[in-house]
Amino acid sequence: MSDLVAIVFQDEATAFEMRAELVKMQKEYLIQMEDAVVVTKEADGKTKLHQAVNLTAAGAVGGGFWGMLIGLVFLNPLLGAAAGAASGAIAGRLSDIGINDKMMKELAESFKPGTAALFVLVKKVTADKVLERLKHYAGRGTVFKTSLDRDDEAALRQALEGM
């Protein structure tokens, strides 16, 4: 089972920086994330989700490949590629894997304009090593929401908030 962690920052740059650090740790097999999304709240009050994976683009590429392959069978690869890319893009756009977009937008409504949050869905983690690397962000973020057990949440708060 995965755990959800949401951390609020006073600026967007720190949220993107921490997500990049978590991606580095994932490449080092210290953490396994299912999803990592930065949610920003603009000065005009609008919220924007910055997904780690663009499903629309991935769907278009995959659909284009399969469409071209099917188009080759029917001697019209360009038409097949175009139709496949369009249907793949639509399918990717309608897909919602990982963290629920609606939930993130609803939580972001309570944020102040100009702030950002990092939502991470964690599958596995080497807690001691990850927390040590996150101490660099101490005092820069606040744990907003989590599904961790009390001890793990307390350790995360200690690393990020210095409590």
pLDDT tens for 45-66 read 888 888 875 434 444 455 555 5
pLDDT score for 74:
61
- In whole numbers, what is the pLDDT of the chain averaged over residues? 77
pLDDT score for 2:
79
pLDDT score for 94:
44
% of the chain residues with pLDDT over 90 = 17
Return d(Cα 92, Cα 59) in angstroms, integer: 5
Q: What is the CATH number of domain 3-52+98-161?
A: 3.40.1520
Q: What share of the chain is helix, strand, coil (3-state, %, to 5)?
A: 50, 25, 25
Which segment of 20-24, 60-64, 109-113, 121-125 scores lowest on mean pLDDT?
A: 60-64
Instruction: Report how far Cα 87 is from the mean position of its chain's Cα atoms.
Output: 24
Evaluate if residue 88 carries a pLDDT over 60.
no
Evaluate if residue 96 carries a pLDDT over 50.
no
Instruction: Report how far Cα 83 is from the mean position of its chain's Cα atoms.
Output: 29
Tell me if residue 91 falls in helix, strand or coil: helix
The segment(s) of the chain belonging to CATH 3.40.1520 are: 3-52+98-161
